[in-house]
């Protein structure tokens, strides 16, 4: 049985491993002639420690995310992907990337970069890719950097 993915979601955050996932996602989208959904989540959990709500901080984060997404979309189109969707959300990246965005966008493959957290950080917070693996209802491909060792 040949699996053909019709809507691939790549989660990006500007990191090296997310860049690798994006590059592979572009190639998979080209091979499958599928839609490429590029998703970025602004983690608002990190902002909860700010004692006062500062709308300017949120606006800056959203503007930075928009620029990042425009760059990714342009790269995908230059590579030949004709159907590119950009999604920027604010909230908890784990739940948004595992279930919310895939359901809204009708994704059938999620691609993420492996996290760069050390063992102690993984023990405390867990990795996003691990959470997505446990909770996603569609296939997941975790992209690793071959040059890195754990």
Residue 105: how many other CB atoms lie within 10 Å: 15
84-114 residue pLDDT tens: 999 999 988 889 999 999 999 999 999 998 8
Q: Which residue has the tokens 């890719």?
A: 129
71-91 residue pLDDT tens: 999 999 999 999 999 999 998
pTM for this model (two decimals): 0.85
Average pLDDT of the chain, as a whole number: 85
Position with higher pLDDT, 55 vs 31: 31
Q: Mean pLDDT highest for which of 16-25, 44-53, 113-122?
A: 16-25
Q: Judge whether 12 and 40 are in contact, CB under 8 Å.
A: yes
Is the pLDDT at 17 greater than 50, yes or no?
yes
Q: Judge whether 116 and 129 are in contact, CB under 8 Å.
A: no
Q: What is the pLDDT of residue 50?
A: 56
Is the pLDDT at 41 greater than 70, yes or no?
yes
The two counts, helices (H) then strands (E), for the chain are 6, 5
């Amino acid at each position: 049985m040949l699996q053909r993915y019709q809507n691939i979601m790549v989660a990006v955050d500007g990191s090296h491993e997310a860049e690798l996932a994006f590059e592979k996602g572009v190639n998979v989208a080209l091979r499958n002639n599928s839609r490429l959904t590029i998703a970025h989540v602004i983690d608002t959990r990190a902002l909860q420690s700010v004692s006062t709500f500062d709308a300017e901080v949120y606006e800056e984060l959203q503007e930075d995310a928009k620029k990042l997404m425009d760059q990714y979309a342009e790269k995908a189109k230059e590579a030949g992907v004709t159907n590119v969707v950009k999604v920027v959300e604010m909230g908890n990246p784990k739940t948004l990337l595992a279930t919310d965005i895939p359901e809204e966008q009708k994704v059938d493959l999620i691609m993420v970069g492996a996290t760069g957290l050390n063992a102690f950080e993984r023990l405390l917070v867990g990795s996003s890719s691990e959470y997505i693996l446990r909770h996603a209802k569609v296939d997941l491909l975790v992209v690793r950097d071959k040059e890195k060792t754990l």
